[in-house]
Structure 1
Amino acid sequence: MNFTRTTGTAVFLVAALAAALAGCSSGKTATGTGPGSIDGAKIAFLMPDQASTRYEQHDAPGFKAALAKLCETCTTLYNNANADASKQQQQFDAAISQGVKAIVIDPVDSTAAASMVSRAKSRGIKVVAYDRPIPDAQVDYYVSFDNEAIGQAIAKSLVTHLRDTGVPRSKGILEVNGSPTDAAAGLIKKGIHEGLADSGYQTLAEFDTPDWEPTKAQQWVAGQVSRFGAQIGGIVAANDGTAGGAIAALKAANVNPIPPVTGNDATNAGLQLVISGDQYNTISKPSEIVAAAAAQVVVDLVQGKQVTATGGGTLTTVFNAPTILFVPKIVTRDNLKTEIIDSKINTAAELCTGAYAAGCKALGIS
């Protein structure tokens, strides 16, 4: 899922979150050479794709910074599979051969990742599923924002908006889901279904977007515009990339006004579409939060300590795995200034460029 912000903002968040996590621990970096020692450990951090700029710009730097704060002698081995499940398997096996003590993995293919987890655990290596769960394997921990809650929130927010603006129940909703190989996308989809249940609005059609590709979402929505036309009252898109694809399809078909479209990830592009009014909502979930939490979980697991909730997360269970989940926040034009600008997740300079300056002014963002 896409997430884009500038490096300066990322540094601010990483420093703050690392400090917060340090406050949750003993206040000292992990040391020792006996059983359960993490001193000098290699930790693999394996991310799924490069189309989502969040991994290079936020997740990886956030994890590295937090781990360095918790364990000065530890080394992060970072790799990105660029949406290639076979390549991720090679990276996973390479990490094992390099003697890692733990692997944090955001799987390209949640099902295919199960066998990798089994190989690592047979060698005593801790495995933490990150952002996307691995349902068919018993990972040591899962760390993520609450994906099911994300789906519920964006769908319910859309339904409320349709009702408040008097959109008749005779109109329906298109549902643009995420990748069919991503278990997190499945949770978001489940949440969307729950959020739309009993809404009174019919789901006209839905689509699982291969690899979360915006162009594939755009192509599908274009076909549905031809099929349903003015019957489309709103679109639930599972992230900002698919939302952008949906909006592009609507504009190409000269649909006016554009029906409200949801999103998720609070990317720069998604936030700008919210500012302009083309996208109705998105979800704010700074990647550095889960990255820092994952670093703390790894340190605790390797040292044989009990994992505790850190950084505002909640302990629970997902797919039989012990889990830390974080609460997502809905962002619309009504609260974008408070949740994004005033909270220093993005700056006005990043968002209020070119055609979006007028929208920022209307929202009191300067």
Structure 2
Amino acid sequence: MKKSWRRFAPLCLALAFAFVFSACTTGGTNQTNGGSAGAGETVDHKTESGGKDSKKIKIGFSMDTLQEERWQRDRDYLVAKGEALGAEVLVQSANSDDAKQIAQAENLISQGVDILIVVPHNADAAAAIVEKAHAAGIKVIAYDRLITNSDVDLYVSFDSVLIGELQAKTVVEKAPKGKYVLIGGADTDYAAHLYKKGQMNILQPLVDKGDIQIVYDQWTKDWNPAVALANMENALTANNNQIDAVIATNDGTAGAVIQALAAQNLAGKIPVSGLDAELAACQRVVEGTQLMTVYTSIKDMAETAAEVAVKMARGEQVETNATENNGKIDVPTILLEPVAATKETMDATVIAEGFHKREDVYKNVK
């Protein structure tokens, strides 16, 4: 019996040493999740094996619509930047349906996204998305449009008030006096109200002075160009075609306005504003039927959103340059600066930055 023990003693000692060594080396694996408690909430449900940086981050991108060219660009730029940063981006579009967007956001949450980026169709309705995401420990970034009455974590957009000011200022320079028509965006879109605020910052003093008369002012349900067309036709009829300027809040509504003007042989005779620098709008600008569009570098905004999404998912600090009150809290905000693109500045803005090719913008200009 003693000989047998001596024969197996070295093996027993080796096994005991291995067990102690293993216990010592695995004792610290729970210390990889540094940062604030809030940051940990977004990743704890995803760290079964080794912490935040040991797995590919999933970004959920819940979009209102992909019907317009600009939103397709947002999607493509954001997906490309996310993938370049090593993340996976899951995209869903709700076709301007509140219930569908909420259901899609729930689906993204169920797929295990680490963070959610939302372009809300309805600023108030999207608060439900924030609540559901937070219940799952997932932070939410409002993209381009603020989510109101919620604890949304971050807002990334352009300075919407400045956009409205650029629109009105450029139109006023062309038509300093006369009858104005305002074709707004969707009443449910918080950004549309900010655009309107900027427009009125420029227009109201001139209205008070008596130089400008606002003879028609309507929102455009769901940003639908067909609604904008009907509104502009009504404005022309109500004023016997005696209109001096139109502030259309984006390029989709501007295109509808110009369609209505063309039917009355007024296209190119009345200045019309826009927003988004869509190719068709840029073509109208250099052709002379649309006075201007506001160029916001969608690439910059999409890439910024992807970058901060990855940082937030990892619990890293994000620098902001503003706050926006959404009716409940002051939301930490990153605002980018827009520029006005006119016939005179098109080459130096939209084309110089590679947003559109010059031959495409000028293809109808002889």
TM-score, normalised by the number of residues in structure 1 = 0.81
Structure 2: distance between partners of 1:98 and 1:50: 21
Q: Secondary structure at the match of 2:171?
A: helix
Work out whether 1:54 is the aligned partner of 2:61.
no
Among all aligned residue pairs of Structure 1 and Structure 2, give the percentage whose two residues are the same amino acid: 34
Aligned counterpart, 1:39: 55
Q: Secondary structure at the match of 2:141?
A: strand
Residue 202 of structure 2: which of 184, 195, 199 is its match?
Answer: 195
Q: Unmatched 5+ residue regions in structure 2?
A: 1-46
Could you tell me how far 1:214 is from its partner in structure 2? Answer: 1.1
Structure 1: distance between partners of 2:247 and 2:71: 24
Work out whether 1:178 is the aligned partner of 2:185.
yes
Q: Unmatched 5+ residue regions in structure 1?
A: 1-31, 164-168, 310-314, 359-366
Aligned counterpart, 2:108: 95
* Residue identity opposite 1:254 in structure 2: N
| Cα 1:38–1:48 shift into 2, 3 Å | farther
Structure 1: distance between partners of 2:272 and 2:51: 53
Say if 1:38 and 1:302, in contact at 8 Å, map to a contact too: no
Alignment: residue pair count: 311
Deviations 1:152-197 (A, max 9, x none): 110111112213xxxxx3x210000001111111111111111212
Say if 1:175 and 1:237, in contact at 8 Å, map to a contact too: yes
Aligned counterpart, 1:64: 79
Work out whether 1:284 is the aligned partner of 2:300.
no
Aligned counterpart, 2:23: none
* Residue identity opposite 1:130 in structure 2: Y
Say if 2:268 and 2:289, in contact at 8 Å, map to a contact too: no
TM-score, normalised by the number of residues in structure 2 = 0.81
Structure 2: distance between partners of 1:147 and 1:278: 24
Question: Counterparts of 1:225-244 in structure 2 under 5 Å?
Answer: 225-244=236-255
Structure 2: distance between partners of 1:234 and 1:42: 46
Aligned counterpart, 2:365: 357
Work out whether 1:342 is the aligned partner of 2:348.
no
Structure 2: distance between partners of 1:300 and 1:179: 32
Residue 286 of structure 2: which of 251, 269, 275 is its match?
Answer: 275
Aligned counterpart, 1:364: none
Say if 2:93 and 2:101, in contact at 8 Å, map to a contact too: yes
Residue 130 of structure 1: which of 140, 143, 161 is its match?
Answer: 143
Q: Secondary structure at the match of 2:317?
A: coil
| Cα 1:347–1:256 shift into 2, 3 Å | closer
Q: Secondary structure at the match of 1:305?
A: coil
Say if 2:64 and 2:101, in contact at 8 Å, map to a contact too: yes
Residue 318 of structure 1: which of 306, 315, 324 is its match?
Answer: 324
Structure 1: distance between partners of 2:143 and 2:245: 31
Aligned counterpart, 2:10: none
Aligned counterpart, 1:305: 316
Could you tell me how far 1:230 is from its partner in structure 2? Answer: 4.7
Q: Secondary structure at the match of 2:240?
A: helix
Could you tell me how far 1:343 is from its partner in structure 2? Answer: 2.8
Structure 1: distance between partners of 2:268 and 2:163: 26
Could you tell me how far 1:256 is from its partner in structure 2? Answer: 6.6
Question: Counterparts of 1:146-157 in structure 2 under 5 Å?
Answer: 146-157=159-170
Structure 1: distance between partners of 2:337 and 2:245: 25
Say if 2:287 and 2:365, in contact at 8 Å, map to a contact too: no
Could you tell me how far 1:93 is from its partner in structure 2? Answer: 0.4
| Cα 1:65–1:131 shift into 2, 3 Å | same
Say if 1:148 and 1:188, in contact at 8 Å, map to a contact too: yes
Say if 2:183 and 2:228, in contact at 8 Å, map to a contact too: yes
Could you tell me how far 1:357 is from its partner in structure 2? Answer: 2.2
Aligned counterpart, 1:8: none
Could you tell me how far 1:76 is from its partner in structure 2? Answer: 1.0
Say if 2:286 and 2:365, in contact at 8 Å, map to a contact too: no
Say if 1:38 and 1:299, in contact at 8 Å, map to a contact too: no
| Cα 1:247–1:302 shift into 2, 3 Å | same
* Residue identity opposite 1:357 in structure 2: V
Structure 2: distance between partners of 1:38 and 1:204: 60
Say if 1:341 and 1:347, in contact at 8 Å, map to a contact too: yes
Aligned counterpart, 1:251: 262
* Residue identity opposite 1:277 in structure 2: G
Could you tell me how far 1:38 is from its partner in structure 2? Answer: 7.1
Q: Secondary structure at the match of 1:330?
A: strand
Structure 1: distance between partners of 2:54 and 2:276: 33
Could you tell me how far 1:99 is from its partner in structure 2? Answer: 1.3
Question: Counterparts of 1:65-84 in structure 2 under 5 Å?
Answer: 65-70=80-85, 72=86, 74-84=87-97
* Residue identity opposite 1:148 in structure 2: V
Structure 1: distance between partners of 2:350 and 2:332: 30
What stretches of structure 1 move > 3 A for 4+ residues in a row?
32-38
Structure 2: distance between partners of 1:148 and 1:256: 27
* Residue identity opposite 2:350 in structure 1: I
Structure 2: distance between partners of 1:283 and 1:112: 28
Structure 2: distance between partners of 1:289 and 1:254: 38
Structure 2: distance between partners of 1:339 and 1:246: 24
Aligned counterpart, 1:332: 342
